[in-house]
């Protein structure tokens, strides 16, 4: 809808929903309306919904259903050059039959046909390769766009400009200056009725192996020789692959697991003795000249104390600072918050205001909502809108390539299988807490991170703890 409101879609656009439910065009519009009316005025929503239609099929691979849809689309196209974009928000086990039905019956005859595919892309290396084969036998890599919405977030897409458009950042973005890199995902609710699905995957598969790993690649990769324009997408993805090729398989001694109390009470979870982690920390290393020896810590959890996703880079101690000032001088940190509010801040040391000369930590900060989207009617586009527009424009940089997927599963599959086969038990933690009580000690030992307990950041307001 935001693309339509911004006049970024073709004027003769039509949208068809395809599913097994027996609905009319109006039924579909009535279902969509409550979710759209919150975002735009009613007149615009009505114009958008007038372009939405529905086609039913007996299944996702129903040949007759796709033939009928093809006929309706050809009528609208009228022989003109027309493109078709298919969005696979369907279970992986029907990818093959759906792809085959589309390939044989509903491809554009005079324009491109592109496919957006939602995760999960398997649950281990073998199942990932199976899914890649199912789609690959019908569509080549140039027409497949595997979507990870974290790659469409403002702060993720901002990494290219931040890292390679600022001379000061490149000078300190390496093992000589960085103590550790942390990528964190937290949400304040549990499985909420979808535990049956989640219990088959767990937090490492659900968040770390895809979302956080993808963000880490952009944060740590070398600079491609092109960042925008024709060919840039593949050059960026080449560099991402080089990062994960430099990583070894995760071992169990570099994994910390947790599960919130009451997780298995979810009625959709059949295995009440499940060891499925709802909280995990994983330590990795990138074995290349830039990052050798720097701990990369992934942290993700459900039913925690807040909603947050961020990248945090802690730098090493300023040389001789403790001797020079006669007191502990906090380490610098760069924090890039992906959600809930897009924010970048650099924790820096300044003189304590007033008569004291002791260093105190403050920050240099940019909050996107107030700095760039403070005007009424001005909003930051959501990740999915950005990514759909990228597909329409044929820009591949923000999508996951098959070799990226395979290598990411090679890194995580052995330890995931070990957790399951050896029934490794997670640490139990209270809902609404920061996670298991033992997690902080593990994190400190594995990362070398030093926390400044005198500093507190609360929505842009810094307060000095007593």
Residues noted as catalytic? 211
Q: Which two tokens stand for residue 259?
A: 């599960």
Q: Which two tokens stand for residue 449?
A: 């991170």
DSSP classification of residue 148? -
- Measured between alpha carbons, how far is 216 from 341 in angstroms, rounded to an integer? 19
- Measured between alpha carbons, how far is 204 from 223 in angstroms, rounded to an integer? 28
Stated as kind and residue range, the H or E segment containing 335 is strand 333-339
3-class secondary structure, 334: strand
Query: Ramachandran region of residue 293, left (φ > 0), alpha (ψ -120 to 50) or beta?
Result: left
- Alpha-carbon dihedral sign for residues 332, 248, 154, 234: positive
Q: Within 10 Å of residue 374's Cβ, how many Cβ atoms?
A: 10
- Measured between alpha carbons, how far is 320 from 318 in angstroms, rounded to an integer? 6
> Is 173:221 a contact under the CB 8 Å cutoff?
no
Task: State the Cα angle at 35 between 376 and 207, rounded to 5°.
Answer: 95
Residues 6+ apart with CB under 8 A from 37: 45
Q: Within 10 Å of residue 462's Cβ, how many Cβ atoms?
A: 15
Backbone angles phi and psi of 189, in degrees to 5: -130, 160
Instruction: Write down how long the chain is.
Output: 466
Q: Within 10 Å of residue 86's Cβ, how many Cβ atoms?
A: 18
DSSP classification of residue 264? G
3-class secondary structure, 40: coil
> Is 173:163 a contact under the CB 8 Å cutoff?
yes
DSSP string, 350-411: EEPSSS---EEEEEEEEEHHHHTS-STT--PPPHHHHHHHHHHHT--TTEE-HHHHHHHHHH
Stated as kind and residue range, the H or E segment containing 134 is helix 125-136
Beta pairing class for 84-88 and 113-117:
parallel
């Amino acid at each position: 809808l935001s693309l339509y409101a911004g006049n970024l879609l073709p004027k003769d656009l039509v949208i068809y929903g395809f599913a097994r439910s027996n609905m009319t065009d109006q039924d579909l519009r009535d279902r969509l309306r409550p979710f759209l009316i919150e975002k735009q005025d009613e007149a615009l929503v009505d114009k958008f919904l007038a372009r939405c239609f529905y086609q039913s099929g007996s299944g996702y691979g129903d040949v007759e259903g796709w033939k009928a849809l093809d006929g309706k689309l050809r009528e609208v196209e009228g022989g003109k050059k027309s493109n078709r974009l298919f969005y696979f928000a369907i279970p992986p086990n029907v990818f093959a039959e759906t792809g085959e039905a589309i390939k044989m019956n509903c491809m554009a005859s005079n324009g491109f046909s592109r496919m957006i595919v939602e995760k999960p892309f398997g649950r281990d290396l073998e199942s990932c390769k199976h899914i890649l084969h199912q789609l690959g036998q019908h569509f080549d890599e140039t027409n497949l766009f595997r979507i990870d919405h974290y790659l469409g977030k403002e702060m993720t897409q901002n990494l290219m400009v931040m890292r390679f458009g600022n001379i000061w950042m490149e000078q300190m973005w390496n093992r000589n200056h960085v103590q550790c890199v942390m990528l964190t995902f937290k949400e304040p609710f549990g499985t909420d009725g979808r535990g049956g699905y989640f219990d088959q995957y767990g937090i490492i598969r659900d968040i770390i192996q895809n979302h956080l790993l993808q963000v880490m690649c952009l944060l740590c990769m070398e600079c491609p020789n092109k960042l925008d324009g024709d060919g840039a997408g593949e050059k960026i993805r080449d560099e991402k692959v080089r990062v994960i090729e430099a990583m070894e398989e995760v071992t169990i001694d570099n994994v910390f697991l947790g599960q919130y109390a009451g997780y298995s009470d979810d009625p959709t979870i059949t295995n009440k003795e499940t060891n499925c982690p709802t909280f995990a920390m994983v330590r990795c290393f990138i074995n290349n000249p830039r990052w050798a020896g720097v701990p990369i810590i992934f942290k993700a959890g459900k039913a925690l104390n807040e909603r947050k996703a961020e990248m945090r880079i802690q730098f090493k101690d300023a040389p001789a600072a403790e001797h020079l000032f006669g007191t502990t001088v906090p380490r610098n940190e760069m924090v890039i918050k992906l959600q809930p509010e897009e924010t970048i801040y650099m924790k820096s040391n300044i003189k304590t205001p007033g008569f004291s000369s002791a260093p105190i930590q403050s920050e240099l900060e940019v909050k996107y909502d107030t700095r760039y989207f403070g005007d009424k009617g001005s909003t930051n586009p959501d990740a999915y809108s950005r990514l759909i527009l990228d597909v329409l424009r044929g820009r591949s940089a923000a999508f996951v390539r098959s070799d990226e997927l395979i290598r990411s599963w090679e890194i995580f599959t052995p330890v995931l299988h070990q957790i399951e086969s050896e029934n490794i038990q997670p640490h139990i933690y209270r809902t609404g807490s920061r996670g298991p009580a033992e997690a902080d000690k593990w994190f400190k030992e594995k990362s070398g991170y030093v926390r400044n307990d005198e500093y507190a950041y609360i929505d842009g307001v810094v307060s000095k703890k007593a």
